[in-house]
Structure 1
Amino acid sequence: MSKEDVALRTGGSCASSRSTGGGGLLADRLASARKHYFVGRERELALFRSALNDAPGAPTVLVVHGPGGIGKSALLQRFAADACAAGRPVVSIDTRTIEPSPADFQRAAVGILAVDRPVLLVDSFERCRDLEPWLRERFLPSLPAGVLVVIAGRHAPDPLWTADLGWNDVLRVVQLGELDAAESALLLASRGAAPDRHAGLLAFASGNPLALRLAAEVAVHDGADNLVWTPCRTVVEQLLMRLVGELPSPAHRRALEVCSHVQDTTEDLLRVVMPDEDVAELFCWLRQLPFMRSGRYGVYPHEVVRDSLDSDFRWRDPEQYKSMHRAVRLHLVERIRNAPEKEALRATSAYNYIIARAPWIRPFRGNRTEGGAYEEPLRRDEWAVVTEMARTMEGEASARAVAYWLDHQPEGFRVHRSFSTGELLGFMCWLRIDDVDDGMREADPVAAQAWEAVSRIAPVRHGEHLGLARFMIHPDAYHRPSRAWDLVHMRFTYELMRTDHCAWSCLVHGEPEFWEPVMAYMDMFRADAGPWNRAGHALYCHDWRVDRVDEWTEGIAARLLSGPPVAADEPRARDGALTREESDAAVRDALRCWLDPDGLAASPLLRLRLLQSQPEVDRVAGLGELLSKAVERLERNPRTRHLHTVLIMTFHSSATQEAVARGLNMAFSTYRRHLARGIDEVRERLWQWEMQGHVPD
């Protein structure tokens, strides 16, 4: 049997170039086109060529695995061309064309027994996974010496291959990854996509060759804007069909939809969204999918799969999409509020991720191809470094301001470093300002003018403060999207949700025209902050006494499915809402009337916005329940449990305070001190809940 007969009978690529009256075979033209459009994979090609040439240490069996659309079939076609060029006969098996049985597989591979030193290429092996033990233990060991075998499939081989020491010298496993940025651009150019459209196409496809080809084909024929290019429904449907395929059940689909929406997926998160399902089984299924990766904090899909699934779900079922988003959001917000800082910051990063799922927001986030960055507190030995960084980027006045705040609030500074090198990429500072003096006005006019700007609208009252995001200096991406700038957003969101008594939050932006859509999306209005605006910076503000955190997050969720919002308005009037001073002053009297509905009916605390959502007839009872919950919180903490006892004994009886003190076996002065502290604790909790907009469970 000739090499040509073997190739034609088994689907190989060693086509003859003899004349057929039309200038050669169609296979020649196909092979030429495949070679012309093939890009990248230099490492894999070099490994295969070393095996073709029997180089020392080269493998005899090569297993290539990766998700759908990653280019496994194209790589095998290129392997076939290289094998033919080296004079090696090729036998190709596409398992989609055979029954997944040993007999059918052997019939398809029979050609390798008729030639010398053949190359066996097996594609789509995921369809024959049940044959893997037979292939490893029976078929491959029975092949004659000189056979080179390449097996390609979506799944990694069974660990039993490497557990068998006999395979160590002859087997090589290669995980096929995405194309890099340069290779992706070459592929787009080869498909006719104009260079000015590459940015959006690259951001969507994330190096997946199938996605790049489909996106390029669409972009060549439409007028897509390269900055916010989004795939049409046809592209998404084809990708999902090729990359994901059929799913076992609606529960598996929902688990995959959750996974595509969030930054990382854990069993805990699935349990929040799918409380009635076997989330352990679903999570096990997710982590075994070929397009899924396991990271430090959970599993996550390849970006093109993630984006396609998320956009398809948002388009297909908007109401269920919003319901899923809300469940995830509430879970993350609760973690931000109540977890230790390190865990809360991870939850903040995850929260910022889900609110940035709208396609129009993508240009405002760091590029996926950038190296990662992390945040940490500023070290004392780096004070001079960040001061000089501010001087270089913003001038002497900025350096003086940095030096001032390093002396007054060094704990507010955070630096951003490269994950790979530890290099200092930039820094920011979160300031808590509760008053302004002449020293601050001279050292940092920007902070002073921010204070004056919000004071003209609604002054910061006693016990409250202004939270100000200041500096945000990154020399390589000054006030522009980057992975380090994403950390600025993370810290900003964290401080909003964790800081008690923050009346105003403000952000000084150096590129206001660029960031205006994001600021509007985040409900931050642009304030007139005085002369320093002429330097090109702008001040964005939010009054948390008008729109509390829960209302703010609900508003962002409502805007998630719409396009870029218009500029945010200045805060509306406070509608007679209670001030902190009024709330604190009313707590003692309300506790005295705790068990007296008529007395509570006259309490100013009925103006708490926590109670405004209840019918008017229920607000008195709601206030009594609110006081009970605030007092009950004291009992949960061993350090305040005695305060709970003091408040209950005092306000749940008609006894005099002297009698209560005797009943508690306390000196009267000690009792009065504990009573005052207990009332202060209730005041603190009520106002914290009022600012947050809800009462934690």
Structure 2
Amino acid sequence: MLCKLVDEGQHAGRLEDRLQAARQRAFVGRKEELAAFDEALCTGGRVLFIHGPGGVGKSALLERFAQHAAEADRTILMLDGRMLEESPAAFVAEARAVLADERAVLLIDSFERIHGLESWLRERFLPLLPSGALVVVAGRTRPDMMWQADPGWAGMVQIIELGELGRMDAAALLDSRGVADELHDPLLTFAGGHPLALSLGAAAPAGEGAAISSAVAVSDSAAGSRWTPAHDVVATLLDQLVGEVPSPAHRHALEVCAHTYMSTQDVLRAALPDEDAAALFSWLRRLPFIEPGPFGLYPHDVVREILEADLRWRDPQGYADMHRRIRTCLTHQIRAAEDADVLGAVGSLFYLHRGDGRRPQPHVWRGAGEVYEDVFRPEDAEDLLRLATEQDAGTVASVSHWMVRQPQAFRLYRRTADGELAGACAWLRLDSKTQAQADPVAATAWATAHANAPLRPGEHLAVYRSWVRKHHQGFSPVMNLIQWRAVAWFLRSHHLAWSFIAVRSDDRSSGRYEYYNMHDLGDHAQEGDAEYVLAAHDWRAVSAPLWLDRLLTTGAQQAPATHEPELAVLSQEEFNDAIRQALRHLAKHAELAANPLTRTRLLAGRATPALALRELLEDSIRDLGRDPQAGKPHRALDVTFLRGAPTQEAAAERLGLSLSTYRRHLNAGIERLSDNLWHRELHGPDQECLTEVVDHVTVGLSARWSGRGETSVAALDRVG
């Protein structure tokens, strides 16, 4: 006998009753919404409009409303928009009974399916209801503004946005489904407080290729933090939360929005160059699971997770291509954006690499909009000095000095709710030793730079200081903005030689700067009673583009980054000596490969630096010929190094010059050549020169090298 009745009547009643009872037991939270409904039950003549994304629990809430209404002995009519024809006649046919019932409670679910009836419902149907009737409308889309703009409805409609469950309620839901405690964290990380995602995660197996045949989240406590949603869970959530989209372009726009921290039209345009970015952005902002933020649009967490998981599994190459296009766009934005817009680009760039398998990143991805950045104004001085006093009274003198002399160096971070100053930072530019003596931290930074690799003409260093109130320290939205501002300054500063981040030696979070490849070189500063570590970086040795590439690549989804050595930082005298050495051995590969110029900014990133150095010198000699005032020095260089005169005497004879005149012209040419290249080393090539160098280096190098005879060593040796 397969089933033995233990108690007669055990299975009495309908299956529907048992289903309802199980659903009621699994219901958690929503105390505020239930209180609003109970109040409306007492007062009557009200409309509650519940809106929220799919799967957030609107239907379950309506069922609980129905239970409360039944307990109050009210007449209940529940309509499902999925089952109704979108016409006034069809709606009246289903809802006619409530028109004559003072105690009626009309519950309308899935209203987005009959959204076209909203104006008719407000203007024609609802005014006919008895004054004691109560109506609840639930749908994915927010009601239009006319409900609140109409003076009549403004006091009678209550609009409630149904969000995710709080963490305690979400954990209670998992408990009700029998999920082991050790599995709560990975499930909550994936689903947040989204009820449908939590329920599917609790009931479905984890990992690649699992079938929905056993409740792994319930039974396999060993899964622990390894739990990830199975593909069928992702597919179900996509159907329920996102549904059908108008076109592949719209799906791609959703995927871009899920991949970036916050999406703008610029990002959409870069990721989807063949589509109408403005139209796609407008469509995104109307979706119920898309929210506006300070830097653009972003999806609800669970929608973001499932879109990311689906694309990464379904189209790995498409995912990688999208990632690359977005990264390129954001990198360009950081360098080109207006100052007020740069933080969004920096945050979005780092967000692309969240959870990529690297060491923990010093960012938190919640709380956007809780604080905002502002520039320093004279009226902010009192607030800033008070903050500095709270953090370290020894810094007050330095802050007072710099906010007068470099007010533009400061950024303030205030709480959106009340304007309270939560933190501040400063990017202090130092061009001279005298300037650096203003405070002990700046003086130590200058001395450290001078001892390791002094500044060259036109270069400067920067000292980065920050002050953050205690309850905003650690991983917080304030620290996000402060760190993003530092990165923006790293990447946007021209002629920056060194940067130093000043961190108190007793600050437990000081190690976060190693994430940014900033290191303690050993020289600490004493300011007041506090000792400061100076986390340093030489931007001439590791340039900003290379630094950023190293920081962002090597993630789990990325190919290993090609190792590039640090660049040599030469003084002008060392640079000029290296130019002469390179000219002396222009045809000798081994000597050119060992020349320090191959490790300078001039040739950074070249696959064959020895060949590139030869091409650079030859092209620079030719470029000198374009200057009508450099004709004589150019001809001396050309005959000596490009036409292969075997001796200085032979070169002078070819030019029809005396030996002394030839040597004077040759020396002048080498000096002009060195000055031009030194300028490019310090400031970078102009676009024309850069294009020519790249073209020459990448086209036909080997052929040109192998077809060349040896340049005279004696000619340059006798120049000195």
Whether these two folds match at TM > 0.5 is yes
**CA distances 1:581-620 after superposition (whole Å, capped 9, x unpaired):** 8889999xxxxxxxxxxxxxx9x89961268368987888
CA drift at 1:36: 4.6
Q: Name 1:10's counterpart in structure 2.
A: none
Partner Cα separation in structure 2 for residue 123 and residue 623 of structure 1: 76
The yes-or-no answer on 1:416 pairing with 2:413 is yes
The yes-or-no answer on 1:156 pairing with 2:142 is yes
- Which of 483, 489, 492 is 1:489 aligned to? 483
Partner of 2:553, secondary structure, is helix
The yes-or-no answer on 1:65 pairing with 2:63 is no
Q: How does 1:245-394 map to 2 (within 5 A)?
A: 245-295=243-293, 297-356=295-354, 358=356, 364-366=362-364, 368-369=366-367, 372-380=370-378, 386=384, 389-390=387-388, 392-394=390-392
The yes-or-no answer on 1:428 pairing with 2:425 is yes
The yes-or-no answer on 1:120 pairing with 2:106 is yes
Contact 1:467/1:502 (8 A) holds in 2: yes
Contact 1:326/1:557 (8 A) holds in 2: no
Partner Cα separation in structure 2 for residue 455 and residue 219 of structure 1: 60
Partner Cα separation in structure 1 for residue 345 and residue 629 of structure 2: 40
CA drift at 1:88: 1.0
Write the letter of the residue equivalent to 1:256.
L
Change (3 A) 1:277 1:580: farther
Q: How does 1:430-469 map to 2 (within 5 A)?
A: 430-434=427-431, 440=437, 443-444=439-440, 447-450=442-445, 458-469=453-464
CA drift at 1:399: 5.0
**CA distances 1:357-382 after superposition (whole Å, capped 9, x unpaired):** 64878873246248611223445565
Write the letter of the residue equivalent to 1:242.
Q
Change (3 A) 1:520 1:265: same
Partner Cα separation in structure 2 for residue 94 and residue 616 of structure 1: 75
Alignment TM-score, normalising by the size of structure 1: 0.70
Partner Cα separation in structure 1 for residue 543 and residue 232 of structure 2: 41
Partner Cα separation in structure 1 for residue 11 and residue 236 of structure 2: 35
Change (3 A) 1:652 1:51: farther
Change (3 A) 1:389 1:117: closer
Q: Name 1:644's counterpart in structure 2.
A: none
Q: How does 1:601-640 map to 2 (within 5 A)?
A: 608-609=602-603, 612=606
Q: Name 2:547's counterpart in structure 1.
A: 552
Contact 2:503/2:534 (8 A) holds in 1: yes
Partner Cα separation in structure 1 for residue 184 and residue 608 of structure 2: 53
CA drift at 1:154: 0.9
CA drift at 1:502: 1.6
- The runs of 5 or more residues in structure 2 that have no matched partner are 1-7, 204-215, 580-594, 634-673, 692-720
Partner of 1:91, secondary structure, is strand
CA RMSD of aligned residues (A): 5.2
Contact 2:423/2:466 (8 A) holds in 1: no
Partner Cα separation in structure 2 for residue 262 and residue 309 of structure 1: 12
Contact 2:330/2:349 (8 A) holds in 1: yes
Write the letter of the residue equivalent to 1:52.
L
Change (3 A) 1:273 1:80: same
Partner Cα separation in structure 2 for residue 70 and residue 448 of structure 1: 57
CA drift at 1:349: 3.9
The yes-or-no answer on 1:504 pairing with 2:498 is yes
CA drift at 1:236: 4.2
- Which of 30, 34, 38 is 2:27 aligned to? 38
Partner Cα separation in structure 2 for residue 74 and residue 160 of structure 1: 27
Partner Cα separation in structure 1 for residue 557 and residue 34 of structure 2: 46
Contact 1:512/1:537 (8 A) holds in 2: no
- The runs of 5 or more residues in structure 1 that have no matched partner are 1-18, 588-601, 632-646, 656-678
Change (3 A) 1:248 1:371: closer
**CA distances 1:362-420 after superposition (whole Å, capped 9, x unpaired):** 873246248611223445565565556445445x5555655565576554333321111
Q: Name 1:9's counterpart in structure 2.
A: none
Partner Cα separation in structure 1 for residue 468 and residue 244 of structure 2: 48
Partner Cα separation in structure 1 for residue 352 and residue 556 of structure 2: 12
Contact 1:578/1:605 (8 A) holds in 2: no
**CA distances 1:631-654 after superposition (whole Å, capped 9, x unpaired):** 9xxxxxxxxxxxxxxx99866999
- Which of 151, 154, 164 is 1:178 aligned to? 164
CA drift at 1:498: 1.4
Write the letter of the residue equivalent to 2:336.
N
The worse-fitting range, judged by mean Cα deviation, of 379-388 and 79-88 is 379-388
Contact 1:609/1:690 (8 A) holds in 2: no
Partner Cα separation in structure 2 for residue 612 and residue 184 of structure 1: 54
Change (3 A) 1:330 1:362: same
The count of residues paired between Structure 1 and Structure 2 equals 612
CA drift at 1:333: 2.8
Partner Cα separation in structure 2 for residue 498 and residue 34 of structure 1: 56
CA drift at 1:552: 2.6
**CA distances 1:105-161 after superposition (whole Å, capped 9, x unpaired):** 566557658976332222122233345466556665666665433221112335566
**CA distances 1:249-306 after superposition (whole Å, capped 9, x unpaired):** 3211211111122233333332222121133332232122111223455432223322
CA drift at 1:186: 5.2
- Which of 13, 18, 37 is 1:48 aligned to? 37
